[in-house]
Amino acid sequence: MGFYSDRILPRCIDQGCAAKPVSRQREKVVPHAEGRVLEVGMGSGLNIPFYWGYAA
C-alpha cells in the first residue's frame, strides 16, 4: 500500500463517517442489532461503542 492508502484515505473515511448526520443515524440503528453481529469492513470502529451502549 502507498502513503495515500495507508495515511490519507483512512483519515478521510473516518472524518466522513464521524460527521453529525452519519453519527445520528449510527446512534439510532446500531443499538438495534441483536444476536451475533459481524461487522464487515468496520473501518476505525466508530460503531463499536454503540453495540454495548458506551457511546459518549
Residues 9-24 pLDDT 10s: 888 988 988 899 988 9
Whether residue 51 contacts residue 30, with contact meaning beta carbons closer than 8 Å, is answered with yes
pTM beyond 0.85: the answer is no
Whether residue 17 contacts residue 47, with contact meaning beta carbons closer than 8 Å, is answered with no
At residue 53 the predicted structure's pLDDT band, cuts being 50, 70 and 90, is: confident
Whether residue 31 contacts residue 50, with contact meaning beta carbons closer than 8 Å, is answered with yes
User: Where along the chain do its domains lie?
Assistant: 3-51
